Amino acid sequence: MLFNRKSELNVLINLAIIDRMMDAKEVNLIRMIGKANLIPDEEVEELIAHPQTITNIRQMTEEEKFEHLYFLITLMKADGRVLKEEISFCEKIANRLGYEKGVIGALSQHIYSTADVQSDRDVLRMKMERYRLN
């Protein structure tokens, strides 16, 4: 079963609102990710306005898990502030995806808040594998 892209986007929205305000950079990134995943603008706006409870995310493929963590960390850094609550949220999601919480720190060293600076995704995938739960 393929993971529902809207559900994935919903997790990103939940991260963005953890500090009770969604920064314009976070909103723009969420919209860009929605568009890249062919989610209609109206549906993205509805998700932003009414985030849903996070459901089972273990159905993702390994590639989807990687992309999910990559975008979670990018979004966490988008507003230029990284709050303890955001890190904790990302660690919980990483754990639900089957990884130790340390994966967030390891990956975030190499993931940037701007799309202009590209990370070496193969290196990131290898780092991520070291944190897989048994």
Q: Is 107 part of a structural domain of the chain?
A: yes
Query: Any idea which of 29-33, 42-46, 117-121 has the lowest mean pLDDT?
Result: 117-121
Q: Residue range 30-35: average pLDDT?
A: 90
Whether 25 is in a domain gets the answer: yes
Is the pLDDT confidence value at 14 over 70?
Answer: yes
Asked if pLDDT for residue 127 goes beyond 50, the answer is yes
- Give the residue, 38 or 58, on which the prediction is more confident: 38
Is residue 106 included in any domain, yes or no? yes
Of the listed ranges 1-5, 20-24, 70-74, 126-130, the one predicted with least confidence: 1-5
pLDDT, residue 2, reads 40
Q: Which pTM does this prediction carry?
A: 0.76
Are 30 and 12 in contact by the 8 Å Cβ rule? The answer is yes
Q: At what angle do helices 62-78 and 24-36 cross, to 10 degrees?
A: 160
134, part of any domain: no
Q: What is the pLDDT of residue 94?
A: 94
Domain count, the chain: 1
Beta strands in 12-107 (DSSP E): none
How far is the C-alpha of 104 from the C-alpha of 27, rounded, in Å? 21
**CA separation, residue 74 to residues 16, 27, 87, 134 (Å):** 11, 12, 12, 26
What does the pLDDT look like over 33-53, one tens digit per residue? 899 888 999 999 999 999 988
How high is the pLDDT of residue 111? 86
- Is residue 70 included in any domain, yes or no? yes
Cβ neighbours of 69 (radius 10 Å)? 23
Query: Residue holding tokens 């920064």?
Result: 23
The residue length of the chain stands at 134
Please, what is the average pLDDT of the chain?
A: 86
Q: Rounded CA gap, 4 and 8, in Å?
A: 7
CATH number at 38 reads 1.10.3680
**DSSP at 117:** S
- Which range among 4-8, 28-32, 81-85 shows the weakest confidence by mean pLDDT? 4-8
- Expressed as residue numbers, the domain containing 80 is 5-129
* Confidence check: pLDDT of 72 > 50: yes
Radius of gyration for the alpha carbons in the chain, expressed in angstroms and rounded: 14
